[in-house]
Structure 1
């Protein structure tokens, strides 16, 4: 017997507005300010690691990570390892990128790494299906949507706030599940 509640998940159809969602204005969204503040524990979206490695995260993100507890999803590890797999071994920057990703994953404290449970995986798949249909996502965006939905619901279930630079997709998720929590930043 699985921990997944199929019937309860299907009732999630109530979150389906049955229309395409529009990106809201920035002043309607929870953006990280100029100064980091204490608050809820964070779950980091994969872009936080990548933006940090590429120098695209604003300084306030590092300040925030110094103040709050950071948690990691196996979804982010999966996406980082996918990146390692798709890098061109002949490219001169590949070895450095792989080393940096390896260091990043290696520095994740095991007690701060969480795997989504069957309920989160099932509901994340349903939510991503709704999102893909509403927004007309094509093949490339569908896997990304699935991973974002699972990470978002996992953070919600654990009581964490998702830190992300992926404003568009997580704005849609907040519209579909307003009880979820995300904190946005703009890449530099």
Structure 2
């Protein structure tokens, strides 16, 4: 397990753009091309699973997943299971949703599912804290920012590219760490 470097992290935390980050134009962001292409391994954001289950993922996503090595994060499992926990057990659609999520999680091969180490977790906590401060995030947006930052830094450390439909939050993260690799898409 990688050791967390507190001193380096504190130096990193000194970065302050002195303003709230603004959402950039789509043309300035790394959106999915018009055709799926081979490339680096992917690490899927939870949005990819949810959009797929709800029929909101563009067809190009399935094409890309067929071309590239697909990897999973325990962060996505955590977010999917959180969804199971918040669903109303008395709602008529809950059992179907739970079954779909169960199948999704079971289909993640263990040799392609990665847990973040202490270095990633520590740096992600710092990065999400910076985002929360800069963007004025409150309540559940803070937890979402933490999960996004863990996934982003985990992908960076493993040499993967994050695939996500979460355009706004990953735009902000890329503004703070432009060296990360992300492919964005819009839901249909």
After superposition, the CA RMSD in angstroms is 1.2
For normalisation by structure 2, the TM-score amounts to 0.97
Please identify runs of 4+ aligned residues in structure 1 that moved more than 6 A. none
- Provide structure 2 residue ranges, at least 5 long, that are not aligned to the other structure: none
The size of the alignment, in residue pairs, is 188
Change (3 A) 1:159 1:15: farther
Corresponding residue for residue 83 of structure 2 = 83
CA distance in 2, matches of 1:13, 1:180: 17
Q: Trace 1:75-114 onto structure 2 (pairs within 5 A).
A: 75-114=75-114
Change (3 A) 1:182 1:15: farther
For normalisation by structure 1, the TM-score amounts to 0.97
Q: 8 Å contact 1:116–1:154 — kept in the other structure?
A: yes
- Provide structure 1 residue ranges, at least 5 long, that are not aligned to the other structure: none
Change (3 A) 1:15 1:63: farther
Corresponding residue for residue 52 of structure 1 = 52
Q: 8 Å contact 1:15–1:177 — kept in the other structure?
A: no
Q: 8 Å contact 1:38–1:64 — kept in the other structure?
A: yes
Corresponding residue for residue 115 of structure 1 = 115
CA distance in 2, matches of 1:142, 1:150: 12
Corresponding residue for residue 164 of structure 1 = 164
Q: 8 Å contact 1:16–1:176 — kept in the other structure?
A: no
Corresponding residue for residue 12 of structure 1 = 12
The CA deviation at 1:140 is 1.5
The CA deviation at 1:64 is 0.3
Mapped pair 1:27 → 2:27: yes
- Counterpart of 2:97 in 1: which secondary structure? helix
